[in-house]
């Protein structure tokens, strides 16, 4: 059966594609991850698919972050993803258009500290496409939450990366196929009608 995705009832979510994370994510260049993200974004835009950019940016005093959490403690120490800094900016290869929604979160799961679900409902979305950084954090959390809420979820495996190549590979092969459809960029682009 050939894969078909209704572009009008779909949203592409670009997750945490920000300079501070792009700069420290291994394998992006070698595996053409950013190029694949940009290609999926271009196709989604041409098909009039809803596009939502999700960022993880916090106050300079970090009062809006979970406390006593190893993941966020690393951010505090390195002073990363602070609102208004170059490091928190979305990578220019997937820069939002003025008409595209940008939602900022202060935890891993974008459904928790944003109005993402309301935005999806307002757009009459029943299908979500995920690309972004990092696979075993925000991508997996979003897939889990969206799947539990009844959305049809597609993950573009070659348009995601993680803090280690091993974490990405394990999550793509062992976790995400039980939560969503894992596809390649070319397959996704061909299916989006």
Ordered structural domains, the chain, with CATH: 7-191 (3.40.50.850)
Per-residue pLDDT reduced to its tens digit, 108-166: 999 999 999 999 999 999 999 999 999 999 999 999 999 999 999 999 999 999 999 99
Furthest C-alpha separation in the chain = 52
In this predicted structure, what is the pLDDT of residue 66?
80
What lies within 8 Å, CB to CB, of 191 at 6+ separation is: 2, 3, 4, 5, 183
Of 103, 151, 97, nearest to 124 (Cα)? Answer: 151
For residue 2, pLDDT over 90 is answered with no
For residues 46 and 193, the answer to whether their CB atoms sit within 8 Å is no
For residue 13, pLDDT over 70 is answered with yes
Of 109, 150, 104, 120, nearest to 49 (Cα)? Answer: 120
C-alpha 121/C-alpha 143 separation (Å) is: 17
Q: Please state whether the peptide bond connecting residue 44 to the residue before it is cis, i.e. omega within 30 degrees of 0.
A: no
Of 54, 37, 38, 42, nearest to 120 (Cα)? Answer: 54
C-alpha 74/C-alpha 42 separation (Å) is: 33
Looking at the chain, the whole-number percentage of residues with pLDDT higher than 90 is 89
User: Angle at the Cα of 173 (from 168 to 176), degrees rounded to 5?
Assistant: 85
In this predicted structure, what is the pLDDT of residue 1?
59
For residue 70, pLDDT over 80 is answered with yes
pTM given for the model: 0.96
Report the chain's mean pLDDT, rounded to a whole number.
Answer: 95
Reported confidence tier of residue 190, pLDDT bands at 50, 70, 90: very high
Per-residue pLDDT reduced to its tens digit, 32-65: 999 999 999 999 999 999 999 999 999 999 998 8
Find the radius of gyration of the CA atoms of the chain: 16
Strands 50-56 and 152-161, sheet pairing:
unpaired
In this predicted structure, what is the pLDDT of residue 108?
94
């Amino acid at each position: 059966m050939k894969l078909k995705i209704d572009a009008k009832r779909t949203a592409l979510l670009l997750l945490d594609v920000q300079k501070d994370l792009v700069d420290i994510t291994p394998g992006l260049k070698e595996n053409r991850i950013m190029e694949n993200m940009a290609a999926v974004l271009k196709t989604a835009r041409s098909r009039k698919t809803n596009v939502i950019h999700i960022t993880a940016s916090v106050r300079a005093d970090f009062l809006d972050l979970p406390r006593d959490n190893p993941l966020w403690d690393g951010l505090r120490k390195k002073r990363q993803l602070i609102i208004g800094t170059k490091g928190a900016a979305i990578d220019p290869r997937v820069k939002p258009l003025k008409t595209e929604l940008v939602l900022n979160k202060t935890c891993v799961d974008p459904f928790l500290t944003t109005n993402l679900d309301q935005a999806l409902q307002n757009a009459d979305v029943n299908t979500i496409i995920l690309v972004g950084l990092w696979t075993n954090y925000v991508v997996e959390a979003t897939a889990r939450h969206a799947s539990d809420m009844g959305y049809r979820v597609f993950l573009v495996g070659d348009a995601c990366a993680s803090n280690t190549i091993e974490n990405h590979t394990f999550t793509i092969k062992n976790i995400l196929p039980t939560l969503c459809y894992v596809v390649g960029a070319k397959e996704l682009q061909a299916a989006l009608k």
